[in-house]
Amino acid sequence: MTDLERLRNMLEHNEVLTELLDRARKLELPHWYLTAGCVVQTVWNVLTGREAARGIKDYDLFYHDAQDLGWEAENRVIRMVGAACEDLPVEVEVRNEARVHLWYEGKFGIPCRPFATTEQAIDAFPAICSCVGVRIERDGIWRFHAPHGCDDLFALVVRPNPVLAPREVYERKAARWQNQWPQLKVRPWS
């Protein structure tokens, strides 16, 4: 079994995640992925023998649409996804990754270059293990983006990815995650 087959097998344990993948596929958002915490935390839950959806705060649905970088365009997509997912028992956080550079510095104190793709945004997540995205194509094929592979994810290793996020963001996330999954091996910011 390949790492991506193993990853898919683990993600299929989370019924909310698989339902959201199916609904997102039908919405046909440009260059979309479910990513970050909902993917990583599902894997950690499965690896540590917990219910797959336990403790997942939100489900990140990221897409990339550079046609209209205005807030209202993104807000229309947020409302559309919200209406399509209103019966799901989770918060779905929707973000247009083409707009991140417009607000990132104000929130985190450092500038962010514009992302040309959703994949570039995933590549910049604060921890190597969280640089994973998944979507289902129209033909039903599962597509993954995991630029660092799945070794850290499967080994419960949290390692900094200093591409963009500041040290404080990494350390805050790592501490929160380790509180919920004490088995995690958190590597210090170097």
In angstroms, the CA 29 to CA 19 distance is 16
Average pLDDT over residues 14-40: 96
Exposed, middle or buried, 34 (CB in 10 Å: 0-12/13-18/19+)? buried
Mean pLDDT of the chain: 96
What is the pLDDT at residue 158? 98
Q: What angle do CA 168, 153, 116 make, to 5 degrees?
A: 65
189 secondary structure, DSSP code: P
Does position 1 have pLDDT exceeding 90, yes or no? Answer: no
Looking at residue 165, its pLDDT comes to 84
pLDDT of amino acid 136:
96
Q: Among candidates 144, 137, 112, which has minimal Cα distance to 125? A: 112
The per-residue pLDDT for range 124-182, each reduced to its tens digit, is 999 999 999 999 998 999 999 999 999 999 999 999 998 888 999 999 999 999 999 99
**Mean of the pLDDT values across residues 96-112?**
94
Angle (CA) 108-81-39 rounded to 5° is 60
Which pLDDT score is estimated for 142? 97
Closest among 115, 126, 5 to 62, alpha carbons compared: 115
This prediction's pTM: 0.95
pLDDT exceeds cutoff 90 at 2: yes
Give the pLDDT of residue 57.
86
Q: Quote the strand ranges of the chain, DSSP E.
A: 33-35, 58-63, 91-96, 133-136, 142-145, 157-158, 185-186
What's the pLDDT at 10? 98
C-alpha–C-alpha distance, residues 113 and 122, integer Å: 13
Domain ranges of the chain: 3-186
Quick one: average pLDDT of 20-43?
96
Give the model confidence (pLDDT) of 80-99 as tens digits.
999 999 999 999 999 999 99
